[in-house]
Amino acid sequence: MDDIAVARRALSLLDLTELSDACSEAAVEKLCAQAVGKHGKVAAVCIWPQFIKFARRLLSNQGVRIATVVNFPSGAAPIEQVVDDTSECVGDGADEIDLVLPYKAFLSGDEKFARQMVEEIDQSLPDGVLLKVILETGEYPDQAAVARASRLAINAGADFIKTSTGKSKVSATPDAARTMLEAIKASGKPVGLKPSGGIRTVADARIYLSLADEIMGPGWAKPMTFRFGASGLLTAINSTIEGTGDAATKAAY
């Protein structure tokens, strides 16, 4: 595909994200306005839980899903609290829950706790609400650990597995994405992938889409099976479609 085709494809797969510490209603209003643009709609906006109701009003009948985060970004909250937080998010109108796996517990050997967290959140969600489990792969010692965490999340009920919070020193990498896609393929389950963090250019997007096409097949990466978690990527997408270049940004996420 040429750059414009990649850009148009990436736009439909984008979770346009605002998870900055200084996020405000004004920032969310701007995000929601960008979510439905002249070149098409993004798949979802991903925002802090306190802005779900506000975003729901702004995006009413626009066909853009609302994602939010729980157990974020530390992955260290008690299960009961995360279940309660998730229930509140769904009640406020969230379509998708991005849950941080208790990756520190997982890496210390407590896989039972990590699995229980995913299972309980999955069981608490009504039909139609997607569960995206953030592994935080940049904190893992090797790809073998990424593969184990991927299998755990998939088997515990994840609808998507996601690389990163965007808050760690290392976010999405092609190596982690490959490992996760291979785990998805081996599982035989209808689970999606969300590379997230540090994806700012159409060239970046091409790398991850090429991996998905190679491992899962060229028709697999659709909004219900593949997302990009990013904010700055939209600028690059728009500039590429408009012929002004693949503009990298300095967005924090």
Over the Cα atoms of the chain, what is R_g? 17
49-58, 62-71, 108-117, 238-247: which has the minimum mean pLDDT? 238-247
Residue with tokens 């600028």: 235
**What is the set of active-site residues?**
98, 162, 194
Describe the crossing of helices 3-12 and 202-216 by its angle, rounded to 10 degrees: 80
> Does the domain spanning 3-241 belong to CATH 3.20.20.70?
yes
Q: Is 80 exceeded by the pLDDT of residue 222?
A: yes
3-class DSSP assignment, residue 94 = coil
Q: Which pLDDT score is estimated for 178?
A: 98
Query: How confident is the model over 112-129, as a mean pLDDT?
Result: 98
| pLDDT tens digits along 16-46 | 999 999 999 999 999 999 999 999 999 999 9
Q: Is 50 exceeded by the pLDDT of residue 190?
A: yes
Domain boundaries of the chain, sorted by first residue: 3-241
Describe the crossing of helices 174-187 and 143-156 by its angle, rounded to 10 degrees: 40
Residue 102 sits at the vertex; the CA angle it makes with 53 and 187, to the nearest 5 degrees, is 95
Query: How confident is the model over 222-232, as a mean pLDDT?
Result: 96
3-state secondary structure 149-216: HHHHHHHHCCCEEECCCCCCCCCCCHHHHHHHHHHHHHHCCCCEEECECCCCCHHHHHHHHHHHHHHH
φ and ψ at residue 238, rounded to 5 degrees: -65, -45
In 3D space, the residue among 142, 154, 247, 145 whose CA is nearest the CA of residue 201 turns out to be: 247
Can you tell me the distance from the alpha carbon of 63 to that of 101, in angstroms, rounded to the nearest whole number? 28
Can you tell me the distance from the alpha carbon of 129 to that of 181, in angstroms, rounded to the nearest whole number? 22
φ and ψ at residue 52, rounded to 5 degrees: -60, -50
Q: Is 90 exceeded by the pLDDT of residue 137?
A: yes
